Amino acid sequence: MKSVIKRFPILVVDDDPVSRTLLEKILKKEGFDVITAQDGKEALELFQKHYIPIIITDWVMPKMDGIELCKAIRNMESPGYVYLIMVTSNRSDKDDIVKALESGADDYVSKPFYMPELLARIKTGLRILELERSLKEANEKIKRLSITDPLTGCYNRSYLNEHLPREIKRTIRYEYPLSISMADIDHFKKVNDTYGHQAGDEVLKAFSNIIKSLTRNGVDWIARYGGEEFIIVFPETEIEGVKAAVERIREKIESTPIKTRRYIINITSSFGIACFDPKRRKDISPDKFINEADKMLYEAKKEGRNRIKAVLL
């Protein structure tokens, strides 16, 4: 529970300084990280600056009461669920409980509260937040798997089809060049025929890892286009810059023996580059962009492989 507590701080909202300080001390003694506010308005301002997943709030307060605070928080977008506990005196009939719950509160405790009960209700909130976190992590993992090539860890064709149009729109909007390169392992069929498909898979993984190591993390991205072909996307990169970057990749691949489980395999690669400059032309379709890079790749192979060819669009 300690690790959970550290992940989820608690915001205590109460206009009574004695009650607020007492609850803060008790919760801190139990190991919770506690933030305090003297009314709903201050609490909302704190929440707008920092996501706080557990809020214990008094009902009757000046400026903004607990009901208004709950409604305001429920109407906001936040990175995760917020577990709200309403604490108040002289409002313990069923209609008040219904009003609190309908305003967005998850739970309700009357003053003077029994501390073990309040702690138990907080732990209920923690279990819900942990469940949400686990579910979110599982969904993110599923999403990653859906856009990732399982062999190389690069993005897959589906990701390319979705995100390349976005890159084109962005480059048109801000008027900076966008470059792509289609990369291909030379004579890859011969690698599979000579060393076997398992070794061929290891070559593909090593090939993609070399490309990743020589591209800008968080800026450039790589997608497996099919078989031994990969698309490298270089945002904000003009033609001379992308030619220099791809040449470094080509040289590294040529000079790096690939160690598989049973063999050491030397490979070379060919690259076709297309650079779209929105200052030269207004628009380009993703298919046209890729086709131009593919044409350059064909030219590189036609001229003897292990080289790059580029075109400015």
Contacts of 165 (CB under 8 A, 6+ apart): 286
**Could you say which of 140, 228, 247, 251 is catalytic?**
228
Rounded distance, CA 164 to CA 233, Å? 8
- Cβ atoms 267, 258 nearer than 8 A: yes
41-74: string of b/e by CB count within 10 Å (b at 16+)?
bbbbebbeeeebbbbbbbbebeebbbbebbbbbe
CA terminus-to-terminus distance, the chain? 59
10-13 β-sheet, strand order: 34-37, 10-13, 54-58, 83-88, 107-110
Which residue, 154, 167, 164, is CA-closest to 215?
A: 154
> Omega of the bond prior to 112 within 30 degrees of 0, cis?
yes
Which residue, 258, 236, 257, 234, is CA-closest to 247?
A: 234
Which residue, 276, 131, 267, 126, is CA-closest to 204?
A: 267
Distances in whole angstroms, Cα of residue 238 to Cα of each of 167, 242, 272, 287: 14, 6, 15, 20
Distances in whole angstroms, Cα of residue 40 to Cα of each of 4, 27, 33, 44, 105: 26, 20, 19, 6, 14
* 228 catalytically annotated: yes
DSSP one-letter code for 215: S
Rounded distance, CA 167 to CA 173, Å? 10
Catalytic residue numbers read 228
